[in-house]
Structure 1
Amino acid sequence: MPRPNLIIRTTREDDWAAVRALRLEMLRDYPLAFGETLEHALQVEEAVWRQRARRGETPGQTSVVAIEGERWVGHMGGYFPDAATGPMLVGVYVAPDRRGDDWGVSRGLLAAVEEWAAQYGSTLRLEVHEDNPRAQRFYEKLGFTLTGSSRPYELAPGGLELEMIKRLS
């Protein structure tokens, strides 16, 4: 259960600077978890950050953040690539000092993304790097299971992205 002072909401274009700051934090914390390098993100122009922030207002995708006071402490996004794939969970991050069930950040974010995803299908998919067992355990705890499907991870150090799925109620 999210703490009373925790706000879970979608992003808007005028959030672009906070979206940028949180993305850079995400990439500094665990670069293997995201399909972008810190070096690339540092070069992205304001117009692109504004576009990324609009994902919370754009049909077929979402961008949900957890805010505690003025501090952004978590993010989960989703998009609908196609009917065969169904909704995908992406950009999952919770600040290290706000991880764990006592804070309610991950469950609050996931509930919002699941509500969005239910408009597009009965399952929610994600990909997690094979060398990120902490994230795999986290997703399993939240009801995701490995499907047996994988694809190559495009960035260094390579490896595989493992697909996981969760049935939505």
Structure 2
Amino acid sequence: MLEDTPIAFLETLEAAHAHPEEHWRRRAANGSSTSRLFCAVTDDGRWLGTMGGFHATGSPDPHLVGVYVTPSRRGPAHGVADALLDAVVGWARLRSGRLLLEVHEHNLPAIRYYERHGFTFTGRTQPYPLDRTALELEMAVEL
């Protein structure tokens, strides 16, 4: 994920490699009551994509996070991204009437995908943590 689209995440590949395997197992186990990770996996166990939801304590709305689909399975013909987004929306709908996300200003394929699925810009921005000269743009969709 980090090799393919590094601007889509808030971590560097180097930092990700430094995490022990247990870190990744905990994340994949969905052990938190405030978050949910959905994965698309082939019959032989290869991960095709992930999307997650995170609902921070004190925040009225959950966030879409950890979005990635392997390049060979991108696009409407495959349906991987849409199925994952449907799963996150279903989870978020039980928590709120709106789902938020933050997207790097230069990640145009992601922005176009979110717009096709009803997300609109809220006007809120913040500096991208790995490059303070770039922005993350907040988008939201009513559920």
Instruction: Give the TM-score taking structure 1 as reference length.
Output: 0.80
Q: CA deviation at 1:69?
A: 2.4
Match of 2:35 in 1: 61
SS of 1:159 mapped into structure 2: strand
Structure 1 residue ranges, 4+ long, deviating more than 3 angstroms after superposition: 82-85
**Structure-2 separation of matches of 1:95 and 1:75:** 9
Structure with the higher fraction of residues in helix conformation: 1
User: Which of 65, 70, 73 is the matching residue for 2:48?
Assistant: 73
Match of 1:139 in 2: 114
SS of 1:93 mapped into structure 2: strand
**Structure-1 separation of matches of 2:12 and 2:60:** 25
* Alignment CA distance shift 1:158-1:45 (3 Å): farther
User: Which of 125, 131, 137 is the matching residue for 1:156?
Assistant: 131
Q: How many residues align?
A: 142
Q: CA deviation at 1:134?
A: 1.3
Match of 2:10 in 1: 35
Q: CA deviation at 1:54?
A: 2.1
**Structure 2: unaligned runs, 5 residues or longer:** none
CA offset digits 1:31-84 (Å, max 9, x no partner): 0100010000011012211221122x4211000001122221110011101343
Q: CA deviation at 1:152?
A: 0.8
More off after superposition, 80-89 vs 30-39: 80-89
More off after superposition, 80-89 vs 128-137: 80-89
**Structure-1 separation of matches of 2:86 and 2:5:** 23
Q: Does 2:87 align with 1:87?
A: no
Q: Which residue identity lines up with residue 117 of structure 2 in the other structure?
A: L
SS of 2:26 mapped into structure 1: helix
Taking every aligned residue pair, what percent have the same amino acid on both sides?
47
Q: CA deviation at 1:151?
A: 0.6
**Structure 1: unaligned runs, 5 residues or longer:** 1-25
Structure with the higher fraction of residues in strand conformation: 2
